[in-house]
Copies of this chain bind each other. A is one copy, B any other.
Amino acid sequence: MGAAGNEIEIGKKDTAAEAGGDTLAAALELLWSERPAPKRGPKPALTLETIARAGMGLADADGLAAVTMQNVAAALGYTKMALYRYVPGKVELVALMTDIGFGAPPALPSGTEGWRPSLELWARRLFERFVAHPWTLEATVGIRPLGPNEVAWLEQAVQSLAGTGLPGAEKFDVAATLAGHVRATAQQSVGGDGKPEQAFHATVGLILDRHQDRYPALSAAFAEVAAHGGQDQALEFGLGRILDGVDLHIAATRERPRR
What is A's interface to B at a CB cutoff of 8 Å? Answer: 15-20, 24, 28, 32, 62-66, 134, 137-138, 141-146, 148, 151-152, 154-155, 158-159, 162, 167-174, 176-177, 179-181, 183-185, 187-188, 190-194, 197, 199-200, 203-204, 206-208, 210-211, 214-218, 220-225, 227-228, 231, 233-234, 237-238, 240-246, 248-249
A168 near B237 (CB under 8 angstroms)? no
**One of B62, B218, B231 near A154 (C-beta < 8 A):** B218
Shortest Cβ distance from A58 into B: residue: B16
A199 near B168 (CB under 8 angstroms)? no
**One of B177, B199, B208, B217 near A241 (C-beta < 8 A):** B177
The distance from the CB of A21 to the nearest CB of chain B, in whole angstroms, is 10
B180 near A185 (CB under 8 angstroms)? yes
Work out how many copies of this chain go into the complex: 2
Query: Known contacts A16-B66, A228-B169, A249-B244: does B222 contact A190 (CB below 8 Å)?
Result: no
Query: Known contacts A137-B141, A159-B217, A177-B181: does B245 contact A64 (CB below 8 Å)?
Result: no
Query: Known contacts A66-B17, A240-B245: does B141 contact A138 (CB below 8 Å)?
Result: yes
In this complex, which of A64, A143, A144 has the most chain B Cβ atoms within 10 angstroms of its Cβ?
Answer: A143
